Amino acid sequence: MIQLANSWLLGLALFVPVVWWAYRRRRGRAMVQFSDVSVLVQAGAARRARWRATLPLLRTLTVLLLVLSVARPQKADEQTRVQTEGIAIQLVVDRSGSMREPFGERNGRRISRLEVVKDVVREFVEGNKTGLAGRRDDLIGLIVFARYPDTECPLTRDHQHVIRALGEVQPPATRDEDGTAIGDALLLAVERIRNIERRFQKSDDYKVKSRVIVLLTDGEQNAGKYEPEKAAQAAAALGVKVYTIGAMADYVEQQSLFGQTMRIPVQINDEPLKKVAELTGGRYFRARDEQALAQVYAEIDKLERSAIDETRYYLMTELSYNWLTWGTLQLPPPLLLAMVLLALEVVLAQTRLRTIP
């Protein structure tokens, strides 16, 4: 968009007729005195005399360009600055051997708890057609744990990296690797979030609005060095909320000697998970099946949303003395053109088109 900062100064162009009048008046005066001009009439006008008409034209163009320059033509380029206040979300997922147990059914096929978790978490990150918008502007990382916690993906805005890492998660291959080290995994998540704060301290375009850990497990702690409550205290000291999810039914399925599937009720102690959520200002959720788990992540999605501040402004370029790019053309500034035309008029008036006073 091109605009004039001092458009009212275009009124100076009204003085152009005065310039023409002064020129015509000067032209009417005798330049050279002769006693008899018949010889000059018979000689006719020289070619260069005909070109003298260009001098007032050059002066007129010079004046118009100078008027345009003082009117300050400007090119306004709209710029957009987006400042995002995202959320650092550290996903912590249990991959212990018990995650192989059935947790749902699709097309007549039983699917494991870990498969369900992968699908639900992927929709939480990417969004779906049933209401989840996805976490486009958030930092997301993935930690998995059994007997030991592992960082599968550091906190990043490259969510495809997170999804790929999640898809490769498998339960432990050996008994030595199996277990449920909730406290160790939670403490590792706290450390990862603490480190990410340093990365974005000086960033103008991205700020970490809040820090959240979403921890999912299907059992109680039976491995690891640190208790969940101790890790929760470390999270609370840094202002990190922890949402805990107990993905477990009220029973386990076993095959009888006759091949029948039996559901055996189990007692589940979810007090440690409730305590972790309470200490950090988060919430505890219980998911007994796939549908309930999807609802849990949808609820967390509503509780934690990022903020985007979009600022629009105009970058102004003064065209009086700056070249203008018009498509593939480079147009010279009017002030430069005025100086060139003025210089050309002076040179011609003193050389080829000079008149004798």
CATH code, 260:
3.40.50.410
Residue 253 has pLDDT above 70, yes or no: no
pLDDT at 165: 96
Mean pLDDT of 272-287: 94
Residue at 63 is within a domain = yes
pLDDT at 246: 92
Residues 46 and 126 in one domain: no
pLDDT at 11: 75
Pairing of strands 73-94, 2-4: antiparallel
Residue at 201 is within a domain = yes
pLDDT at 196: 80
Burial of 47 (0-12, 13-18, 19+ CB in 10 A): exposed
Residues 126 and 247 in one domain: yes
pLDDT band at residue 285 under the 50/70/90 scheme: very high
Residues 41 and 113 in one domain: no
Residues 163 and 229 in one domain: yes
Q: How far is residue 1's CA from residue 74's CA, in Å, rounded to a whole number?
A: 8
pLDDT band at residue 205 under the 50/70/90 scheme: low
pLDDT at 122: 95
Residue 163 has pLDDT above 60, yes or no: yes
Mean pLDDT of 189-215: 80
pLDDT at 258: 60
Residues 60 and 136 in one domain: no
Identify which of 151, 132, 150, 130 has the alpha carbon closest to the alpha carbon of residue 141.
Answer: 151
Residue at 48 is within a domain = yes
Contact yes or no for 73/320 (Cβ under 8 A): yes
Residue at 355 is within a domain = no
pLDDT at 244: 96
Mean pLDDT of 209-232: 92
**Highest mean pLDDT: which of 8-12, 248-252, 287-291?**
287-291
Mean pLDDT of 338-355: 78
Residues 18 and 142 in one domain: no
pLDDT at 186: 96
Residue at 11 is within a domain = yes
pLDDT at 245: 95
Contact yes or no for 335/65 (Cβ under 8 A): yes
Residues 93 and 57 in one domain: no
Residues 306 and 237 in one domain: yes
Residue at 315 is within a domain = no
Residue 340 has pLDDT above 90, yes or no: no
Residues 88 and 216 in one domain: yes
Mean pLDDT of 56-62: 78
Distances (CA, A) of 222 to 117, 177, 297: 21, 12, 26
Residues 6+ apart with CB under 8 A from 311: 80, 81, 82, 83
Domain count, the chain: 2
Please report, rounded to a whole number, the percentage of residues in the chain having pLDDT higher than 90. Answer: 37
Residues 181 and 136 in one domain: yes
Residue at 271 is within a domain = yes
More confident residue, 128 or 182: 182
pLDDT at 345: 78
pLDDT band at residue 73 under the 50/70/90 scheme: confident
Residue 44 has pLDDT above 60, yes or no: no
- Which range has the worst mean pLDDT, 19-33, 59-73, 99-113, 233-247? 19-33
* Residue 6 belongs to domain spanning: 2-72+320-350
Identify which of 146, 85, 63, 101 has the alpha carbon closest to the alpha carbon of residue 254.
Answer: 101
Residues 27 and 170 in one domain: no
Distances (CA, A) of 341 to 16, 23, 149, 232, 323: 16, 17, 77, 78, 17
The DSSP symbol for 332 reads P
Mean pLDDT, all residues of the chain: 81
Residues 215 and 283 in one domain: yes
pLDDT band at residue 84 under the 50/70/90 scheme: low
Contact yes or no for 170/95 (Cβ under 8 A): yes
More confident residue, 344 or 277: 277
Which helix (H) or strand (E) is 118 found in, with range? helix 113-126
Residue 61 has pLDDT above 70, yes or no: yes
Residues 6+ apart with CB under 8 A from 51: 352, 353
Question: 45's torsion region: left (phi>0), alpha (psi -120 to 50) or beta?
Answer: beta
pLDDT at 261: 64
Residue at 29 is within a domain = yes
More confident residue, 219 or 35: 219
pLDDT at 75: 78
